[in-house]
Amino acid sequence: MSDVTNSIQVQRGLGASNFAIASVGGTINVLTSAADMKKGGTFKQEFGSQSFLKTTLSYSTGKLNNDIATSFLLQKKTGNGYVDGTWTDAYSYFFTANKTFGNHSFDFTLLGAPQQHGQRDGDNKHTAKDWESFNYDTRYGSPDDRKVNSGSTGSGWGYVGDDARNLMKEGSYGGESMDFISSALFGGNIQLLKKVGGKWLINSRTNYYHKPVYNLNWYWKVGNKTKLSTVSMVLMAVAVVRGHSTHVVILRWDDGDDEKKIGNTSIPNMGTMEHMFSKSEKRSKYIIRASVNHHNWYGVISSLNHLLTNQITLSGGIDARAYSGIHYREVQNLLGGDYYVDYSDKNVPDGNAAKVGDKIAYFNTGYNKWIGEFGQTEYKTDTLSAFRSLAFSNTQYQREDPFNYEPEEKMSETANFPGYAAKVGANYNVNSQINVFGNIGSLSIAPNFHNVYLNYNNTVNPEAKNEKITAFELGTGYRSSKYIVDIDYYYTVWQDKALVRTSKGKDDG
């Protein structure tokens, strides 16, 4: 973002931000309008150890004769990682366009940063004592229970031969986990294998993430004293953690000598033919699966500002948003088998013969909608500025679970939580160098979604209630040609904040 940002506005504490659901710690506003960017472009490459390479290309047209301005950036970053098995493959992209029509101005912005990287979480099983006798020549320590061959350092990763690589590649899958931008950049595949140092490396876990943001801003100068600002946004994030189907067995990725191996010359199927599911296909007992989270946001914030007098400004507007979070696991690679048996869907009690792309383990969706209105009065002179604001909102939750409930019962009841935010504040300039300020506010916000639907079920928690926040802040600042000094004091009381604890019952031992 630093390569395409015009300026960043930071407001600490409560502040005078116009949102139906106010923040407590502060707000950040990043300005990226193409109309404010000067004409020109840059090309930059950065190099580092472990094959690190970062390439950045950017260009801005500046404001053209037809009142159109555009700017874009494309960036690619790759590297093997200083720690073995922690490779990275990432992109960043940004595009913005501005067009003015008389008293109307439109800004469209698209940005995102899809990335994949290798993880080796198996190594977190070892203590510092395990590594005391580590031999950097043999790549082993004693004691050492990592099930890998010499040269494949780390229990969370290893190497595979060409035959195994070809078979795994045939079964690789991106599917619903990837949007069209990531699919174009990564070739439609969440990487299972990575070529490092001329060898094919496989991780027990890989991570994929992409959070594209689409923004359309409309600014309308209604009159000399009145302005309307409307921001519409779409955010569609996908997070995928890819790993093997069990945490009990540590697979020997290279030359394992038991039936759980992933060999150099073949990938033997881990199961036998089970005629209950198929008379000709083999069952995979170990697979590569993905834990997938889709986060989809849609929203609009519209505010009207009116200059009532030279000192008083009135503003108000609406804030409406909708969110859905889809969570599931899916089969990504059968490791040479034909299907994987999953018993998680209670609507299929005899088990499901899952193929690549099928959902397993869990599948549920959380819904969050809110709508609110806000109003603010601001008074400003050369020495004194003050504001008061009031906002009301309603947050609605609902949960869908087709795995644990029958079709007619998969949707939970809705849960509604009305809220409010009331704030007042002032700043006084003692002189050209010293100012003092203070803010106080009272907020009532909806509880966390997971506190409303406990233990991953559709029953609404009758004890769930709004969290109440009272915040106070006081500060002073000093400015000179040589020094900038800020002193702030914050005091916050957060009541009715739910903390979920899980404990054993009397019969659980």
Q: What is the pLDDT of residues 373-402, one digit of tens each?
A: 999 999 999 999 999 999 999 999 999 999
Task: Give the start-to-end residue ranges of the domains of the chain.
Answer: 114-210+246-286, 212-243+288-509
Strand pairing partners for 8?
30
* Percent above pLDDT 70 for the chain: 76
487/144: higher pLDDT: 487
Vertex 271 angle, CA 267 and 274, to 5°: 135
Task: For residue range 314-324, list pLDDT tens digits in order.
Answer: 999 999 999 99
Confidence of residue 290 (pLDDT cuts 50, 70, 90): confident
3-state secondary structure 102-121: CCEEEEEEEEECCEEEEECH
Q: What is the largest CA-CA distance in the chain?
A: 87
Q: Which residues contact 3 (CB under 8 A, 6 or more apart)?
A: 42, 56, 58, 73, 75, 94
Question: Is residue 78 within 8 Å of 89, Cβ to Cβ?
Answer: yes
Mean pLDDT lowest among 83-87, 211-215, 326-330, 387-391: 83-87
Task: For residue range 439-455, list pLDDT tens digits in order.
Answer: 999 999 999 999 999 98
pLDDT at 299: 96
Question: Is residue 463 within 8 Å of 482, Cβ to Cβ?
Answer: no
Confidence of residue 36 (pLDDT cuts 50, 70, 90): low
Q: How far apart are CA 344 and CA 360, in angstroms?
A: 7
Closest CA to 98 of 29, 7, 36: 36
Q: How far apart are CA 151 and CA 454, in angstroms?
A: 46
pLDDT at 252: 46
Confidence of residue 141 (pLDDT cuts 50, 70, 90): very low
Q: How far apart are CA 133 and CA 81, in angstroms?
A: 24
**Strands 115-119 and 88-101, sheet pairing:** antiparallel
Question: Is residue 293 within 8 Å of 326, Cβ to Cβ?
Answer: yes
C-alpha dist (Å) from residue 73 to 99, 111, 463, 472, 483: 19, 9, 49, 41, 36
Confidence of residue 86 (pLDDT cuts 50, 70, 90): confident
Mean pLDDT of 129-134: 54
Task: For residue range 261-280, list pLDDT tens digits in order.
Answer: 443 334 444 455 566 777 78
355/35: higher pLDDT: 355
For residue 283, pLDDT over 60 is answered with yes
pLDDT at 160: 75
Closest CA to 404 of 438, 362, 373: 362
At 110, list the tokens: 């698209």
Taking the whole predicted model, whether its pTM rises above 0.85 is answered as no
For residue 168, pLDDT over 90 is answered with no
Amino acid in position 496: D
Mean pLDDT of 166-171: 62
Task: For residue range 331-364, list pLDDT tens digits in order.
Answer: 888 877 888 999 999 999 989 999 988 999 999 9
Q: How far apart are CA 6 and CA 8, in angstroms?
A: 7
Place of tokens 């609009």: 300
Confidence of residue 171 (pLDDT cuts 50, 70, 90): low
pLDDT at 170: 52
Q: How far apart are CA 220 and CA 12, in angstroms?
A: 28
**Which backbone phi and psi does 36 adopt, to 5 degrees?**
-95, 0
- CATH fold, domain 212-243+288-509, is Maltoporin; Chain A (2.40.170)
Beta-carbon neighbour count of residue 443 at 10 Å?
22
- Per-residue DSSP letters for 369-433? EEEEEEEEEEEE-SSEEEEEEEEEEEEEEEEE-TTTS-GGG-BPPPEEEEEEEEEEEEEEESSSS
- Per-residue DSSP letters for 16-78? T---SS--SSEEEEEE--GGGSPSEEEEEEEEETTTEEEEEEEEE--S-TTSEEEEEEEEEEE
